[in-house]
């Protein structure tokens, strides 16, 4: 299985991401899903901010991709950001705090991972998939 393959369930919220407007759309749908799952407004805003970062990375580095959001067991919300872009050359380096290949504009994957309860990244020449789980408090 290559990194960009994710089984999409019909109950998932899926947003195609290619433009600046899509980043806003993805984060707003993520916030709505989080609220509907019982997350507090603050937690939902944090999730929306993280989705914004992941979606922007897709636009910036891959051109286009998807954000998939789904509810999991035990009050988990999963955010899956996937693209068919060039992949991350050195994932371990990309997870270091303060790592950036583009001038340090973003939060970086380390910042995203820091607030996650579950975090996984798979990247190869066929694309990148970041999966983040956030548990309801």
Cβ proximity to other proteins: between 85 and 106 the closer is: 106
Q: Does 24 bind other proteins (CB under 8 A)?
A: yes
If DSSP states are collapsed to H, E and C, what string results for 92-117?
A: HHHCCCCCCCCCCCCCHHHHHHHCCC
CB within 8 Å of 73: residues ≥ 6 apart: none
Q: How far apart are the first and last CA of the chain?
A: 34
Residues within window 64-93 making contact with other proteins, judged by CB under 8 A: none
- Strands 65-71 and 76-83 turn out to be antiparallel
Q: Does 29 bind other proteins (CB under 8 A)?
A: no
Cβ proximity to other proteins: between 62 and 107 the closer is: 107
> What does residue 70 show for φ and ψ, rounded to 5 degrees?
-150, 155
Q: Does 133 bind other proteins (CB under 8 A)?
A: no
Residues within window 109-128 making contact with other proteins, judged by CB under 8 A: 111, 114-115
Site residues for other proteins per CB under 8 A: 20-21, 23-24, 27-28, 31, 40-42, 44-46, 48-50, 52-53, 56, 105-107, 111, 114-115
């Amino acid at each position: 299985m290559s990194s960009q393959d994710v089984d999409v369930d019909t109950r998932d919220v899926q947003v195609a991401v290619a433009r600046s407007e899509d980043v806003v759309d993805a984060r707003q749908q993520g916030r709505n899903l989080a609220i509907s799952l019982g997350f507090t407004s603050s937690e939902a805003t944090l999730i929306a901010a993280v989705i914004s970062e992941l979606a922007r990375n897709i636009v910036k580095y891959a051109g286009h991709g998807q954000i998939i959001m789904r509810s999991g067991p035990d009050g988990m919300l999963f955010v899956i950001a996937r693209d068919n872009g060039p992949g991350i050359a050195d994932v371990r380096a990309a997870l270091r705090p303060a790592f950036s290949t583009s001038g340090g504009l973003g939060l970086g994957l380390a910042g995203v991972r820091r607030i996650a309860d579950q975090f996984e990244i798979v990247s190869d020449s066929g694309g990148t998939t970041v999966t983040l789980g956030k548990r309801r408090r």
